Amino acid sequence: MTDLHQGGCQCGSLRYRFQAPLRDIAHCHCTICRRSSGGLVVTWITVPRAAFEWLRGEPGEYASSATCTRYFCRDCGAQLALFTRHSPETLDVTIGTLDEPEHAPADRHIWVGTRLPWLNLDPQLPDEEEEHI
Ligand SMILES: [Zn+2]
Ligand SMILES: [Zn+2]
């Protein structure tokens, strides 16, 4: 497989692609990811910002914290990407919106201080206290 990967939202209004290897992938257990997605975790891949482009549509965006902007579909609500000023050269993209997420396993957990105590997901992976927010 090549390092060119595509994805999009549930309704098809937004499509994107990036050219980067499928690594640096984290299960995020922060409460902002949980509440903004409705899921138990959001799993993110970090890619060079310059390697990412929108192919179709214009995402909605909002500031989920003082340093973080989240990009979502205005039509279906899917959350696709995140930019944090702590890491201005990169963009985080949701693994769940990739066309082939089966090729993108996570390599660690982040924000484990707010991990749900009954969640049993990839227990073999290392934990980190925090990363973006
Ligand atoms: Zn959509
Ligand atoms: Zn998070």
pLDDT tens per residue across span 30-78 = 999 999 999 999 999 999 999 999 999 999 999 999 999 999 999 999 9
Which residue type sits at 15? R
Task: Note the ligand closest to the C-alpha atom of 39.
Answer: 2
Task: Note the ligand closest to the C-alpha atom of 77.
Answer: 1
Distance 4 CA to ligand 1 centre (A): 21
pLDDT for position 2? 79
Is the distance from CB of 110 to CB of 29 less than 8 angstroms?
A: yes
- Mean pLDDT across the stretch 17-42? 97
pLDDT for position 130? 74
Is the distance from CB of 19 to CB of 4 less than 8 angstroms?
A: yes
Q: Which residues surround ligand 2, an ion (CB under 5 A)?
A: 28, 30, 33
Distance 100 CA to ligand 2 centre (A): 21
Distance 44 CA to ligand 1 centre (A): 18
CA pair distance 112, 71, nearest whole angstrom? 23
Is pTM beyond 0.85? Reply is yes
pLDDT for position 132? 55
Task: Note the ligand closest to the C-alpha atom of 27.
Answer: 2
